[in-house]
Amino acid sequence: MDNLRYKRVLLKLSGEALAGGKGGGIDPASIEAFSREIVHVASQGLEIALVIGGGNIFRGVSESARGMDRASADYMGMLATVMNALAVQDALEKHGLDTRVLSAIDMKEVSEPYIRRRAIRHLEKGRAVICAAGTGNPYFTTDTAAALRAMELRCEAIFKATKVNGIYDKDPMTNPDAVMFKTITHMEALEKRLRVMDTTAISLAMDNKMPIMVFNLFEEGNILKVAKGEDIGTTVTGG
């Protein structure tokens, strides 16, 4: 058994993680890779709640910029997260992990409704809980849903999986001299507008002293390393 630092965490996967290198849509090979890791850490006793984004399929804010009503576009974005949740559920279950999809928008044929106490019960029984449809409200993001669910479900940390190694002083994709922070406070992340998560999500995490571990999802073994408390990526804490 690996020695884990956490008992229960919330793992935030953006839609991008499901698209792999393809930029959009759902790429089964990418889902397969991180699902294997999630199942491994769960088998070591980590209770995992997941919040899945939808940006690989639909992002409300971009579509409203192109003329759609923002709330309608956001509801479409939330529905996109349900599709992603079902794809991740399928992959996790193929590897033998029991899961439940809990949706913030009622969709009883494909998921359970999100009921906090029920979600906690599933986690206690060792099932991965996949939270779909974000917060259920337009004008929010799945990052905010991740912060909200992490608090409600009494998770010890948010694991924010990204395509870069951590939080940098500037965008590492376009600036080769960007420097990565090892640790940073929520307040610094807000003040410096570092865009690790949106400001609503970071504020919520800050007010409730919820640490955020930012790490690269595409490096194999990273989920386990973070779960063991290894010093990879950036830790957002305190302040």
CB of 178 to ligand UDP, least distance (A): 21
Two structure tokens written together for 43: 């088998």
Considering the complex, state which of residue 9 and residue 78 has its C-beta at the smaller distance from ligand UDP. Answer: 78
Chain position carrying tokens 């004008």: 139
* CA within 13 Å, CB half, 121: 6
Binding site for ligand UDP (CB under 6 A): 14-16, 53-55, 59-61, 73-74, 77-78, 80-81, 134-135, 137-138, 140-143, 145
Chain position carrying tokens 């595409």: 218
Considering the complex, state which of residue 172 and residue 229 has its C-beta at the smaller distance from ligand UDP. Answer: 172
CB of 165 to ligand UDP, least distance (A): 18
CB of 73 to ligand UDP, least distance (A): 6
Contacts 24+ apart (CB under 8 A), 216-219: 216/161, 216/162, 216/163, 216/164, 216/165, 216/166, 217/13, 217/17, 217/34, 217/161, 217/162, 217/163, 218/163, 219/165
3-state helix, strand, coil in the chain (%, to 5): 40, 20, 40
Considering the complex, state which of residue 141 and residue 235 has its C-beta at the smaller distance from ligand UDP. Answer: 141
CB of 190 to ligand UDP, least distance (A): 18
CB of 9 to ligand UDP, least distance (A): 17
Two structure tokens written together for 111: 């998921």
**E-assigned strands of the chain?**
8-13, 47-52, 99-103, 112-113, 128-132, 157-162, 183-184, 212-216, 234-236
CB of 208 to ligand UDP, least distance (A): 17
Considering the complex, state which of residue 138 and residue 233 has its C-beta at the smaller distance from ligand UDP. Answer: 138
Considering the complex, state which of residue 9 and residue 231 has its C-beta at the smaller distance from ligand UDP. Answer: 9
Considering the complex, state which of residue 64 and residue 185 has its C-beta at the smaller distance from ligand UDP. Answer: 64
Residue of closest CB approach to ligand UDP: 53
